[in-house]
Amino acid sequence: MIDVINLEKSFGNVEVLKGITTTIDEGEKVVIIGPSGSGKSTFLRCLNCMEDPTSGSIIFEGEDLADMKVDINVHRRHIGMVFQQFNLFNNKTVLQNIMLAPVHVGVSDIRKAKRKNFFTNIGNIFRKEQRDLIKIDKTKAQVIEEARENAYILLNRIGLADKADVYPSTLSGGQKQRIAIVRALAMNPKVILFDEPTSALDPEMVGEVLDLMKQLADEGMTMVVVTHEMGFAREVGTRILFIDQGIILEENTPKEFFENPQHPRTKEFLSKVL
């Protein structure tokens, strides 16, 4: 699903990623662990080009996202992202947070299709072979209504439907993060990237977020997770990447990784965190 080929990233003179090659298949739950400053967050942020790779390729659905000519916004719709600091839109209510992107994308698609049809129609006057128009099967109001229904389904799922009309500033960290996760889900992404989703939470709220993530994993969502939660990595992950100094030092199934680490650096790291 995502092929990462020789990915390198530098900030100025600092080389953060020094050639990472890996493949993330559909349905996989890849957990990335490593010491701080190892480049694991940078790697994750390169996957949807939040950071533009310095060199290398990221092939998502046959297109290279690292190529500046690719319309990254179209691909980002299919790659959800959850941040350490939640990053809910502070000026929008919970419901608006979830609806914003689906509505905007849906409405602008309709607008684009209409514009294209307009020119096709004009062109068709002069063409012998008539070109087909793009079908528009929804109105703007329908898009909005669908997004609203979907948002309520998602909110009900996490039990926060009663918070639909409040602003994020009144919510707890765990609630914010769960809403951030369903906001990503509202776009029906093919893969979700989690950037240390529980690191900014109070210990007692970590559980509710991890539970939601486990549910997603059970439903077969493809996930790439940067985390310090070793328990989660062991339980949910299908593959562990251990990144240090900008390269993948070790890559294995959770069972093998935790019980039988190969690399001395991995052993050292695990002895500290476990």
Partner 1 sequence: MEILLNRWLSFWEKIQNPGVYGEVLKGLRNTAYIAVVGLIIGIVIGTLIAVVRVVPKYKRIARILDKICTVYVAFFRGTPMVVQLLLGYYVMLPLLNITADPLTVCVIIFGLNSGAYVSEIMRGGIMSVDIGQTEAGRALGLSYATTMKKIVVPQAVKNIIPTLGNEFITLVKETSIVSFVGALDLYKAFRNIGNSTYEYMVPYLMMAIVYIILVLIITLGIKLIERRLRRSDRRN
Query: Where does this chain bind partner 1 (CB under 8 A)?
Result: 48, 50, 68, 73-77, 79-81, 83, 85, 87-93, 100-101, 104-105, 167-170, 180, 183-184, 187
> 189 and 79 in contact (C-beta within 8 Å)?
yes
Report the candidate in 212, 148, 223 with the shortest Cα–Cα distance to residue 179. 212
CB-nearer residue toward partner 1: 143 or 184: 184
Q: Hey, is 123 helix, strand or coil?
A: helix
Shortest spacing between CB 122 and partner 1, in angstroms: 27
Q: What tokens does 137 get?
A: 């099967």
Shortest spacing between CB 267 and partner 1, in angstroms: 35
Report the candidate in 197, 228, 200 with the shortest Cα–Cα distance to residue 38. 228
Shortest spacing between CB 257 and partner 1, in angstroms: 28
Shortest spacing between CB 12 and partner 1, in angstroms: 15
The strand pairing partners of 82, in sequence order, are: 194
CB-nearer residue toward partner 1: 54 or 238: 54
CB-nearer residue toward partner 1: 191 or 240: 191
End-to-end Cα spacing for the chain: 32
CB neighbour list of residue 220: distance below 8 Å, 6 or more residues apart: 27
CB-nearer residue toward partner 1: 67 or 268: 67
